[in-house]
Each structure stands twice: as C-alpha cells, then as structure tokens.
Amino acid sequence: MSVLGERVAAGLKFPTGFVWGASTAAFQIEGSTTVDGRTDSSWDAFCRRPGAIAGGDTGDPAADHYRRYREDVALMRELGLGTYRFSLAWSRVRPDGGKVNPPGLDFYDRLVDELLANGIRPWATLYHFDLPQALEADGGWANRDTAYHFAGFAEAAAERLGDRIPLWSTLNEPWCSAFLGYGSGVHAPGRQDPEAAVAAAHHLLLAHGLGMAELRRHAPAAESGITLNLYPVQGPDPEAVRKIDGLMNRLFMDPVLLGRYPEDVLADLAPFGFGELVRDGDLGLISTPIDMLGVNYYRGYEVTREPVPGSEPAGPEWIGAGEVRFIPDPDAPRTDSGWQVEPGKLTDTLVSVHRDYPHIPLYVTENGAAYPDVTDADGQIADKDRIAFLDAHLRAAHAALARGVDLRGYFYWSLLDNFEWAEGYAKRFGLVHVDYETQRRTLKQSADFYAKVIAANALPGL
C-alpha cells in the first residue's frame, strides 16, 4: 500500500453500517464464453459484427474472472469490501433461454460461497445486458415473451442461490438495454428500430415485475429491487428538460415507484405504439413493492433546444429529442470517456429521488471513471485523477446524507478493468489494473485510497 490515503481520518464520517462495495458485470469480466454449457449471448453475437466494438475486441477472455474468481475475491478482502455486486450470465444459467444448466449455476455457487467465506456479502444482479442470443433471434426484448423467459431465469437463480444472497437487483439500467440496444444500435443487439426500442422498455419493466415475484418466492428474506441509471437533467429550456427527463428518468421511475407511466411521456411515445403495449395488470406487476433502489450515476445532462456550437443531440432523433442539445462546459474536467466530471449532480440526483418519490432506501450501485493508467517510477499505478473523482463523488454522496437522503451504501464501478461494451478494452475503469496479456492484477493507488476510506468509514478532512 502507498502513502496515499494515510490522511484519511474522521473528516466526514458515514453512518454506522454504511455499505462499501464495488460492482462488475458477467460479460465484462468472466470470459470463458464457451465452457460448461454456456451459449452465445446477444453481446457475443454483436462482437462479431465488423466495426461494432473498438479494436474488434470480444468478451473472451475479458478479465478471466471465471477461472480467477478466488484471486479476485482475495483482492476484495484486501480492499475491505463489505459487499460485492456482480451479475449472473443468463446464457450460463439457462443456455439459449432453455433448460437450467447445472454447471453454469455451479460457478455462481462457488463464487457466492467464496465471498461468504471471506466475509463479503454477495449482491446479485439478474440481468446486465447479456440476453441469450437464441431469445434475441426470436425478437429479443421487443417480444413480450422474453419477459416471461426472464421470470424462468430468475426462478432458477433464486431457487439455487436465494438462501445465501441477501441482496438482489432484477435489472441493471433498462434504459441502456432498450434505447442503446434497439434504438441507436450502439449496444447489442445493434438494432435501430424505434418501435422495438419502445417495446423493449416496457417489456424490460414487465420482466422486472415478474422477476420480483420469483425473488419474493425463493429469496423472501433478501432485499430486492432494481438498478436504474439516473441523470439530473437541467437547462434553461423547460420543454427540453421535460422531454429528456421523461425519457431518461421518469419513464422507468414512475411505473416502478408510482404504478403509472407519465402522461407526457406516453404522449411522446404514442407514435411508436407504446400505449398498445401496456396490458391490464402490467403496471401492477411493475410496481410490485421493492426494498431498495440502486442508482447508477456517471454524469449530468444540461440541455437546450437552442443551437450550441460543438454540441451533440441529447436524445434520439426518432422521438423528437434530436432537437434537444447538450450544453457543454468547456472548462469542466472530463474522463477518458469524454464525460464531464460533475460530482455535485450526484447529490442532486439522490435528493430528487428522495424528494419526488415515496420513501425507498437508496444505494449508489455504480459510480466510476475511465482514465489511462500510468505507472510511476516505483512501479505503482498513480491514478490521481481517479482518486480525485472518487473523493469528490463520495463527498457528494455524504452531502446527500446530510440533506436527509436514506442512502445506505456506495459501490465503485468497477472492481477490475474490463470489457467496456462498445469501447472494448480501450477504457479502464478499475480499481485493479488488469494486464490483458498475462491477466496479472495490480492494485492501483485509487484502490489504496478507497481501502482507507472503507476502513475509517470516513473521508479525509480537507
């Protein structure tokens, strides 16, 4: 461990019992995509499309976690993580969306037991973007039947693991699955079909409700919920803010927590048949009470409909959001992904959920940044930008606590450098550096900093 983090003392204390963790996703770290009965996911197929992934990268070997999970759990223990959030690969558990595959479930059995043996609580996410390709061939999330296939997957996972996993998320970021996968086509399955994107959004939420029923049945003592990527949307133009906030946030928050879709968003999506998708009983399932909400936060959105030099559309052209533009801040620091670093908007996001919706415990289930790794003269990876990012966002989380938000925990994204979707291996988000040639793991100085924060349950004084 380096001297970084030695200054961590009782500067800003977090509540007793505050959960400290890190998150990953199966396709991004596991590798071993053809072993023990696993079949293709939509991401395996997408990676084979020319030009789909930077550098022509694929999900194998990724970080080789399938074979190196014990080593990775040992790193978690060294960091002092209290909880580890990971996802289950549907194509391992029920290959092609069909029968249960015991060897695939055996892997998660081993992982969960290893975590528990090291004093780390498992948090399982059932779905993090990797739909079995056989189900995608039948229409994927645009097909209502996929939601019922998901219920079967949830049943198999919870029946086998529900006695040992105390925290579950049904879905991770359904906005991405629907609109990046079926609308813009930059994520798997790479479709550009407005009607399919809108249908996918509803069917994903229906799958959440059906999955909650299986979790209640087979893991009744667990805390279960959903994880959404939320964005504070601000700007000088109320109509621009309304449209993007509706598409990004309220389309998913309102049915889950209020039992209804927002009327203005229904009107925006009516030309794409959204109203015809919602059947009697659907919203009752979708609004099944949840125990907690996971909030993934990376950046905010400031938008306008006025021409802005050098700006990009803030939403898909096909819903009229292409007329809305981001307002860039030329002075804001940016990550290696080009995203503005806006820690204060994490506070805004958490406070708005606390203010605008019925009370629900919140967790920051993802927050992180990609930066190039630089090795210093001592052989250490001195990722000072990531330390600054982490420090600033933890202060923002603490500020939300000070304003009365029921925030229960924070999870950094990601534990390991990994396959970063369409960016392939070009972007590094990890606390742990992965040499993809040798699979050697190296703790970065940000890992040292985070470990010291966890041990103190506090941020350093300024």
Among residues 30, 136, 155, 173, the one annotated as catalytic is 173
CA distance 245 to 197: 17
What value does the CA radius of gyration of the chain take, rounded to a whole number of Å?
Answer: 21
Q: How far are the Cα atoms of 109, 163, 213 from residue 160, in angstroms, in the given order?
A: 8, 8, 16
Determine how β-strand 407-413 pairs with β-strand 19-23. parallel
Q: What are phi and psi of 136, to 5 degrees?
A: -60, -40
DSSP codes, 271-293? GGTHHHH--TTHHHHHT---SEE
Helix (H/G/I), strand (E/B), else coil: 142: helix
Assess contact for 451 and 390: CB atoms under 8 A. Answer: no
Among residues 136, 214, 302, 366, the one annotated as catalytic is 366
Q: Which two tokens stand for residue 103?
A: 């060897």
Assess contact for 29 and 413: CB atoms under 8 A. Answer: no
- Is there a catalytic annotation at residue 173? yes
Amino acid at 432: V
Q: Which two tokens stand for residue 154?
A: 């949830």
398, with CB counted inside 10 A (0-12, 13-18, 19+), is buried
Report, as residue numbers or ranges, the catalytic residues.
Answer: 173, 366
